[in-house]
Structure 1
């Protein structure tokens, strides 16, 4: 990974630590107290052994020291537990806020942005990548502070009693972070590649799982299994590369810490044998000095070793942060302001051009006007830009030109306030794992009688009454157990609960059989009385009741007018209507021929 990118990601990660609250500082505080208590224990042990072995004092003189040692052991245990809890809460608080920020951002960017990646990739970002930030905030960041603070305290304690020991500690301390950095240079890049492989695998696997029946139908199961096997093997190799980095860094740090402690032990050993005579300020080196320094020596390197051990958490977090930062820093200034909507909803577009999130022109420039309580259909060939226009109206795609709602530019409106006025129904109903009651109420305070009334309007009440649990009937994942028509009518009941001023309908009957289509269409006709409506549809024969029809072709508004006006003039609308009629006649011809055959020939 480029060093500039790595520094940018590290800086971004550190800026997020405010989400940890006071738990991060609390973890550092408990860590410092643990280090101080350990120094006190080293002093007590060295004092007791000096007194008993060298000074030959009775053991009874050190009863208080033994009790103090016992008390400090308990205190250290409590402090270690408190530090772990504070660290965990710091990471947990960060993860909660990060997931909320990701989901809020995705809600703001909308489906036009989300569809740019498979659902499995988003699941990887929201779950695995956010989860892998835990150790960076819970362990690495506190340890960075402790790695600088605790060795400094120990140096302050060691230098006054033996400057040579202090110099050895001071000189060997940089070896650990230096080799930690050298070993860990490629760890962030390895983690980034690992997350990319995981996102690809998750997205690929989820997409294939959704289309499993289709794959079996076309005998492609074995082929896709090989593709998934290859992607899994790639992920395994990248995961093992990350683990190799982690184990190598730990081994290197342990080696240099052991060598440094050995140098310290050799110095004191030769000093006690009178082969070395320096570092003690002219006073003979006592057993207390040697024991005190040698007990503290491992603890001097321990914070540095712990920081090295947790360095892979930093590399892991940097690898996870790349996509998180790109998502959370994605520009959203084009998506609404803070003005409230006032007055009847009328929509005016003048020289309106709609763009994709990467800046490509999708539609326009177009100009039109939709009056309050007017019913408007948007038609055109596939890919003409109909859905792009709806996404712009919903605030999910950027645009240029004028698009005003009740006299206020959409960019200046509060999107939350604007969307409260809308009821949206698409061709692919999105029901959630939960009860029927939950799916229709969607957090609104609706009574069971109100929900039943909505179900009756959507002509799905009979189905609900047939269920043993009624409104508590569980909706399974991917609406399993429901037909498309049933799911669509449940989604319609949810839309009716919105009490919206404007209905936005995107092919609401495209996936329905003729009976379900008639039921949904009749409900929509009744529900939209006295409300505005914008409907995208390919069913041109049902548009005679619409007040206005906008015909879009190749990103341009080519025709507009009522049904009678459009069929009376040559153009895209009449051409599409003729094509639809010829397809219907072609479909009906075999049935009519069969009906006209003698009974014995059928």
Structure 2
């Protein structure tokens, strides 16, 4: 009984998730504006245009073979037929253009939305996510949304509008032929729906495997040096091959379902067209004498026979695009949770903080973690403008989390952070973060020139760059390179040692000249001489008037700080409730 209830709950949860994925996908498709409507209008014009085209062609054959008309008599018909073909070609061209525009708009909107969401998550929100999976989401999975909006959704409308018009035309010509078409039409979407249930599941599984493969490959590529050092490169290559083979099998499963759906549609449509052809042939030969068969002529028979394949053509195209729907739903299952992940950063307000060093006050600030132990618990702290503070404590005591709260990267679960007397929730968060310089424990360096990493937002005076590099102790290793500031770095600062990358990131922070500096383990990868240079650079920032807050295990490197605050288990050591 318990297992049955668990299965029912799992099925209900899966159904709710699928419903939410479809709603999210429909919202992304609406970003295309009127372009899908133009696709439907042009597709309708092209679909309806087949009716006069088939009628003119049937009448032309009838006039030449039955009535014996010459070229002079059928010249007008040929001209009209040419105009109809030209009209349909133009409608198809407009349909293709508007479909491409729809896909472009959906891709652009979705990528901008997901990218903005990633920015909104901040360093704290992105800390546990694989870079490869995020890159796959922005590139591969977003690319699956465009065909759904550009081809599948408009084709759903065309699958109703065009066959109905053709069916009405056939009904006026021969009601028995129309009955044969009407009998076969419902079977195709019914079997497509059955096949589509499997297509959605295997496509969702494929996108999950693609995200895992992207993250796995990028992580191993970034750690290739370590894998070679440990002698694990060959083993990881074997594992990567197995992961790739698993993705290949999943892709082939998707293709098998896609081919199956097309085969089902082709089978039923071919049988229906064959039945109509047999009826018309037997009727023209006089072997069928009931219903409207005795009234069949070459014109009406050929007209109906030409329209029969066109009746199923929108359904064929829908089957071709049905895989786009399954792929989009699989992508939505990965993208929707990412898009709807709440940001750990505070919402912020509209008040702009002043440019002077801030007065920071934490009142009973608490921050919950994933486990039972809180990250921060009841922190009361008053930091005066221009004060230099050292945060110490064992690993996991909450030093980095406290810096993230001060930077606005994480919102507190209880208590309040006040900046110059105003709660952080009332301040413009972007403006607040522009007032501070942040140096993470593992700073990120962009692929590109050293000068680009110093000033990602634009150019800077050469004197300022030289001064920042000198204060950070980075001048020597930059000048040792032939191209100096023009030296190009690889992904995550490849080409620099860990200590060199740390000093380059410190120089970037110093260039900001911010009134508040938040620094996390700035000397962790440095030799004693360079660590002393870094300490002196931070002391110079403090002497300039900036508030400097440093989290470090090496407290003896910063004797110039005015106050040392010790943390343990998320609490201030020496606090009343410690």
Q: Does the alignment pair 1:411 with 2:422?
A: no
Partners of 1:211 and 1:41 lie apart in 2 by 63
Instruction: Identify the residue that residue 286 of structure 1 maps to in structure 2.
Output: 297
Partners of 1:438 and 1:66 lie apart in 2 by 66
Report the Cα offset of residue 320 of structure 1. 0.8
3-state SS of 1:418 partner: helix
RMSD: 2.4
Query: After alignment, is 140-149 or 330-339 more displaced?
Result: 330-339
Partners of 1:523 and 1:334 lie apart in 2 by 30
Partners of 2:322 and 2:84 lie apart in 1 by 30
Tell me if the contact between 1:98 and 1:130 (Cα under 8 Å) persists in the aligned partners.
Answer: yes
Instruction: Identify the residue that residue 51 of structure 2 maps to in structure 1.
Output: 39
Q: Does the alignment pair 1:513 with 2:524?
A: no
Q: Does the alignment pair 1:442 with 2:456?
A: yes
Instruction: Identify the residue that residue 181 of structure 1 maps to in structure 2.
Output: 193
Partners of 1:85 and 1:450 lie apart in 2 by 51
Instruction: Identify the residue that residue 536 of structure 2 maps to in structure 1.
Output: 522
Instruction: Identify the residue that residue 167 of structure 1 maps to in structure 2.
Output: 179
Q: In the superposition, relative to structure 1, how do residues 162 and 251 fare at CA in structure 2: closer, same or farther (>3 Å)?
A: same
Q: In the superposition, relative to structure 1, how do residues 63 and 471 fare at CA in structure 2: closer, same or farther (>3 Å)?
A: farther
Q: Does the alignment pair 1:389 with 2:389?
A: no
Tell me if the contact between 2:535 and 2:557 (Cα under 8 Å) persists in the aligned partners.
Answer: no
Query: After alignment, is 399-408 or 242-251 more displaced?
Result: 399-408
Report the Cα offset of residue 43 of structure 1. 1.6
Tell me if the contact between 2:163 and 2:312 (Cα under 8 Å) persists in the aligned partners.
Answer: yes
Instruction: Identify the residue that residue 274 of structure 1 maps to in structure 2.
Output: 286
Q: In the superposition, relative to structure 1, how do residues 289 and 333 fare at CA in structure 2: closer, same or farther (>3 Å)?
A: farther
Q: Does the alignment pair 1:479 with 2:493?
A: yes
Q: Does the alignment pair 1:341 with 2:352?
A: yes
Partners of 1:12 and 1:489 lie apart in 2 by 44
Instruction: Identify the residue that residue 94 of structure 2 maps to in structure 1.
Output: 82
Q: Does the alignment pair 1:555 with 2:570?
A: yes
Report the Cα offset of residue 449 of structure 1. 4.7
Provide Cα deviations, 1:159-190, integer angstroms capped at 9, x if missing partner: 22222222222222111111111111111111
Q: Does the alignment pair 1:105 with 2:117?
A: yes
Tell me if the contact between 1:550 and 1:559 (Cα under 8 Å) persists in the aligned partners.
Answer: no
Partners of 2:478 and 2:161 lie apart in 1 by 66
Q: Does the alignment pair 1:63 with 2:75?
A: yes
Partners of 2:52 and 2:269 lie apart in 1 by 22
Report the Cα offset of residue 376 of structure 1. 1.4
Report the Cα offset of residue 463 of structure 1. 4.5
TM-score (norm. length: structure 2) = 0.91
Partners of 1:335 and 1:53 lie apart in 2 by 80
Report the Cα offset of residue 333 of structure 1. 8.2
Q: Does the alignment pair 1:323 with 2:334?
A: yes
Q: Does the alignment pair 1:542 with 2:553?
A: no
Q: Does the alignment pair 1:295 with 2:287?
A: no
Report matched runs for 1:367-378 at 5 Å.
Answer: 367-378=380-391
Q: In the superposition, relative to structure 1, how do residues 388 and 78 fare at CA in structure 2: closer, same or farther (>3 Å)?
A: same
Partners of 2:373 and 2:86 lie apart in 1 by 65
Partners of 2:146 and 2:527 lie apart in 1 by 50
Partners of 2:538 and 2:289 lie apart in 1 by 98
Tell me if the contact between 2:208 and 2:334 (Cα under 8 Å) persists in the aligned partners.
Answer: no
Report the Cα offset of residue 99 of structure 1. 1.4
3-state SS of 1:367 partner: strand
Tell me if the contact between 2:360 and 2:420 (Cα under 8 Å) persists in the aligned partners.
Answer: yes
Partners of 2:529 and 2:301 lie apart in 1 by 92
Q: Which of 493, 496, 507 lines up with 2:507 in the alignment?
A: 493
Tell me if the contact between 1:336 and 1:395 (Cα under 8 Å) persists in the aligned partners.
Answer: no
Partners of 2:79 and 2:31 lie apart in 1 by 41
**Which ranges in structure 2 are unaligned for 5 or more consecutive residues?**
1-10
Q: In the superposition, relative to structure 1, how do residues 466 and 211 fare at CA in structure 2: closer, same or farther (>3 Å)?
A: closer
Report the Cα offset of residue 442 of structure 1. 1.5
Q: In the superposition, relative to structure 1, how do residues 460 and 45 fare at CA in structure 2: closer, same or farther (>3 Å)?
A: same
Provide Cα deviations, 1:270-313, integer angstroms capped at 9, x if missing partner: 22133334554x98222221111211111111111111111111
Q: In the superposition, relative to structure 1, how do residues 547 and 488 fare at CA in structure 2: closer, same or farther (>3 Å)?
A: same
Q: In the superposition, relative to structure 1, how do residues 150 and 360 fare at CA in structure 2: closer, same or farther (>3 Å)?
A: farther
Report the Cα offset of residue 379 of structure 1. 0.9
Report the Cα offset of residue 547 of structure 1. 1.8
Q: Which of 419, 435, 446 lines up with 1:432 in the alignment?
A: 446
Report the Cα offset of residue 465 of structure 1. 4.8
3-state SS of 2:295 partner: coil
Tell me if the contact between 2:449 and 2:488 (Cα under 8 Å) persists in the aligned partners.
Answer: yes
Report the Cα offset of residue 155 of structure 1. 2.1
Report the Cα offset of residue 541 of structure 1. 0.7
Provide Cα deviations, 1:408-453, integer angstroms capped at 9, x if missing partner: 2223332211111111112323111122232222124534454444
Q: Does the alignment pair 1:220 with 2:235?
A: no
Report the Cα offset of residue 246 of structure 1. 0.9
Partners of 1:358 and 1:81 lie apart in 2 by 58
3-state SS of 1:402 partner: strand
Instruction: Identify the residue that residue 20 of structure 1 maps to in structure 2.
Output: 32
Report the Cα offset of residue 71 of structure 1. 3.6
**Which ranges in structure 1 are unaligned for 5 or more consecutive residues?**
561-571, 573-602
Query: After alignment, is 256-265 or 389-398 more displaced?
Result: 389-398
